[in-house]
Chain A
Amino acid sequence: MTSPALYRRIVRRETHSPRSGAAITIAVLLMLVAAWIGTESVLAAIGQAPLLLAPQALVSSALQAAASPVALLVAIGAVVAIVGIILIIVSFAPGRRGRRGSISSRTAAVVDDRVIAQSLAHTASYAADVDPDQVSVSVGARTVRVEITPTSGRSVDQQSIRDAVAQDAASYDYRPALRANVRLSKKGTVA
């Protein structure tokens, strides 16, 4: 009854940004500009003093601006164009949210990268027999970097840590899958 297509859709939607933030911000800015222009038009139409600038003055100053120095026009144009390029990139970029999904026959699951990082940190600190504070984990798109600061004067078995972390990472069936990369810091810390 539960269709895989439905789960695929949900997992995709939960792991990617809806771009609501950017869209709502732009909408609010446009609304403010529209509200201001509308207010100024009504004020001018009923012959009241403008809030900032009457529509007539607005149009003529925009036309005057065509004759302003070339360098200024180029600079303004370039800045506006760059903002436009950024928005176009935002509209096409996948916008991953730092989550990964997995679909089983009964349920679909989406897990936060932070949960994965905390879990691997726990595994690594247990395998290295160090305090959890001495392990730092950062999860990228497809790789996870585990950095361990050993306690000074105590040896750690790098291979066993590597095995433990790799085994843990391999047990996850979340996609995109993660490849673990364990590093021991050269400097130790005093426990």
Chain B
Amino acid sequence: MNSTNRFLNRAFVFVVGLVLLAAGGILAVGALLPDLQQPISQGASDAEGRVSDTFSANAWILWVTAAAAVVLILLLLWFALRQGRGRTSTLLKLDQKGTGGDLIIDAKVAAQVLEDALARQADIVSVDVVAFRVRRENVLRITAHTRRGASPMRVRSVIDEAVSEWDAVLGQTTPVVIQIVSGIRSAMSSTTRVA
């Protein structure tokens, strides 16, 4: 439901994997082939002798490295922090042309009505309702924590009924996604409800 860019995640994992595979593969294969290994280790030991000269002659290398590290950290931070966004508090926004005002319906209204309607159902322990913005549409997500042994088909039809009642209240339909889950709240509850 959230707006996480999944292609970017997979592309990132793929690129890192590819780099590791290439580096590891070249290291392992290169070490096994004497024709390749000899000149490289020779070149490396030659280069090693010039390392301290290079560093003392070019002090900017250190600053460039530090700057590159900062840029990389900022990029990765942006990448990590943009995961899981997409929640919205608004369910519906109606432009009232004639009256000169807008009507905004908060997702909390739907949440309270639906939670109230569904909390009394015997098969459902608790309900969470939140709204997400998906493809320029506000989608309501109803998460139902079921009691152990409850039939998912029955839970679904109960929620569908509550949704159609909500549609009648709202006078419009917005997309609704139902999640039927069994979590810690289900495990703590008994299989049947008494009273």
Residue numbers of A with Cβ under 8 A of B are: 1-3, 6-7, 9-11, 13-14, 18-20, 22-24, 26-28, 30-31, 34-35, 37-38, 41-42, 44-45, 55-56, 59-60, 63-64, 66-67, 70, 73-74, 76-88, 90-92, 102, 104, 106-112, 114-116, 118-119, 121-122, 132, 168, 171-174
Residue B153, interface by CB 8 Å: yes
- Are A20 and B83 in contact, CB atoms less than 8 angstroms apart? yes
Contact among B1, B21, B45, B163 for A66, CB-based, below 8 A: B45
Chain B residues whose C-beta falls within 8 Å of the C-beta of A171 in the assembled complex:
153
- Are A114 and B12 in contact, CB atoms less than 8 angstroms apart? no
- Are A55 and B14 in contact, CB atoms less than 8 angstroms apart? no
**Residues of B42-80 contacting chain A, CB below 8 A:** 44-45, 47-48, 51-52, 55, 59, 61-63, 65-66, 68-70, 72-73, 76-77, 79-80
- Are B84 and A35 in contact, CB atoms less than 8 angstroms apart? no
Residue B121, interface by CB 8 Å: no
- Are B65 and A115 in contact, CB atoms less than 8 angstroms apart? no
- Are B24 and A79 in contact, CB atoms less than 8 angstroms apart? yes
- Are B40 and A23 in contact, CB atoms less than 8 angstroms apart? no
Contact among B24, B51, B80, B173 for A106, CB-based, below 8 A: B173
Q: Which residue of B lies closest to A110 (CB)?
A: B179
Chain A residues whose C-beta falls within 8 Å of the C-beta of B55 in the assembled complex:
44, 55-56, 59
Tell me how many residue pairs across A and B have CB atoms closer than 8 Å: 269
Residue B139, interface by CB 8 Å: yes
Question: Bound state CA distance, A73 and B45, in angstroms?
Answer: 16
Rounded to whole Å, the gap between the CB of B191 and the closest CB of chain A is: 7
Residue B103, interface by CB 8 Å: no
Asked, given contacts A80-B24, A115-B152, whether A10 binds B84 with beta carbons under 8 Å apart, the answer is: no
Residue B26, interface by CB 8 Å: yes
Contact among B13, B14, B31, B139 for A6, CB-based, below 8 A: B139
Question: Bound state CA distance, A42 and B63, in angstroms?
Answer: 7
Asked, given contacts A37-B65, A87-B13, whether A110 binds B180 with beta carbons under 8 Å apart, the answer is: yes
Q: Is the interface of A mostly helix, strand, loop or mixed?
A: helix
Asked, given contacts A10-B177, A13-B1, A77-B31, whether A88 binds B66 with beta carbons under 8 Å apart, the answer is: no
Q: Which residue of A lies closest to B77 (CB)?
A: A31
Question: Bound state CA distance, A150 and B98, in angstroms?
Answer: 71
Asked, given contacts A34-B76, A67-B45, A91-B14, whether A107 binds B62 with beta carbons under 8 Å apart, the answer is: no
Question: Bound state CA distance, A60 and B155, in angstroms?
Answer: 65
Question: Bound state CA distance, A64 and B59, in angstroms?
Answer: 22
Asked, given contacts A13-B1, A38-B73, A106-B176, whether A19 binds B13 with beta carbons under 8 Å apart, the answer is: yes
Residue B160, interface by CB 8 Å: yes
Asked, given contacts A19-B6, A55-B62, A122-B149, whether A26 binds B51 with beta carbons under 8 Å apart, the answer is: no
- Are A6 and B17 in contact, CB atoms less than 8 angstroms apart? no
Question: Bound state CA distance, A109 and B36, in angstroms?
Answer: 58
Residue B9, interface by CB 8 Å: yes
- Are B72 and A6 in contact, CB atoms less than 8 angstroms apart? no
- Are A111 and B180 in contact, CB atoms less than 8 angstroms apart? yes
- Are A132 and B149 in contact, CB atoms less than 8 angstroms apart? yes
Chain B residues whose C-beta falls within 8 Å of the C-beta of A34 in the assembled complex:
69, 72-73, 76
Q: Which residue of B lies closest to A32 (CB)?
A: B73
